Amino acid sequence: MQKSTALLKKMGKWLLGLLGVLVVLVAGYVIYMQLQYFRIDDHQAIATENNPSDTIQLNHAYTATTYNIGFGAYSPSYSFFMDSGESLTGEKSHGKYSRAYSKKETEKNTSGSIQTIKQINPDFAFFQEVDEKATRSYGVNQLERIKQGMNQYGSAYAKDFHTAYLFYPLTEPHGAVQGGIVTMTKHHVQSNDRRQFPVSNGFLDKFFDLDRCFLVSRLPVSNGKELVMINLHMSAYDKGGKSRAAQLKLLNQVMSEEANKGNYVIAGGDFNHALGDSVHQFPTEQKTPDWVYELKDSDLADGFHFVKAANATSVPTCRETDTAYQPGFSYTVVVDGFLVSDNVKATAENQDRQFSYSDHNPVKLTFTLQ
């Protein structure tokens, strides 16, 4: 009896000691995350590398693309740990992976995304979710891959995701991330201004959500005005839509200021909103995800409108990633595209790539300045 009591006491002390160690480790990790955490300041000037000299002309047709490359992870079979969904019959699903399958897979998808845009050969190319250095993409420098693969373009890079090592999920930590958005151009850029979107500063949100931003690039036009190209990536995991509403307000303010100067404005990227009445546009066996919010022309500042792709009713630009991509089953929607000021004449086409290299399809814009 005495031996049993002594043994229980030893086990109790051992468990208390272990618990104490765990508390210290968790507390130390929280302190580490807090010390590493910061938000990037608004109005950060970004240089254009390899800046071309060609000036934009009136009444000349130009092209632009936007493509969220999903940090090179999203093969058609890939699902993401932060996404969940439910089928029409009530079966719930949850994404599996927090990293790409492998370095080789990341390299394949990154190269495929770059080749996809090179085949289109646009004057401007917007990219989102481009990793510079990240655990989730096995250290593949996608920024450098894009610049090397499109070396006839000028480039500007704005960081929108910078985080210390995230030990979540425990079975496969997301790790540390340095990533952002990239604007590639064949025409001379006068300046780039990184604008900070309003984002949540909640204790957990600030570590898992991106430091959302948009990059405002100014290009001189032959008539003395400016073409203002805006590359953006709005919030997705935004319960209640509060951050997205604040982001749209800022975007509208910036665009209105430019339009009032008589400048030409084009904003493109991943809006993370359903565009062009696409919420229920495509065949699916899944319920509409909670993150889907509509964005219409009536939500934009006066003098602006979305350019609806000619094939917007047949080609989606984004797939839900709670499961592998299954055509006809997976929920799909249009969240990528462009909006323009009324002095820009434009058409668009969603590029049907069957989500081969990303959970997004690219969009091509053709435009002239009036």
Average pLDDT across the chain, whole number: 92
Q: Is residue 279's pLDDT more than 60?
A: yes
Residues 63-98 pLDDT 10s: 999 999 999 999 999 999 999 999 999 999 999 999
Does the reported pTM lie above 0.95? no
Q: For 145-159, what is each residue's pLDDT tens digit?
A: 999 999 999 999 999
Omega within 30 of 0 (cis) for the link into 362: no
Any idea of the CA torsion for 327, 333, 335, 341, to the nearest 10 degrees?
120
DSSP string, 67-84: EE-GGGT--TT--BTT-E
Cα dist from 98 to 36, 37, 75, 144, 174, whole Å: 21, 21, 13, 23, 5
* pLDDT value of residue 195: 97
The pLDDT of residue 258: 98
Report the pLDDT value the prediction gives residue 9, as an integer from 0 to 100.
72
* Residue, of 19 and 97, whose pLDDT is higher: 97
Tens digits of per-residue pLDDT, 131-182? 999 999 999 999 999 999 999 999 999 999 888 888 889 889 999 999 999 9
d(CA 90, CA 286): 9
H/E element, 319: strand 318-319
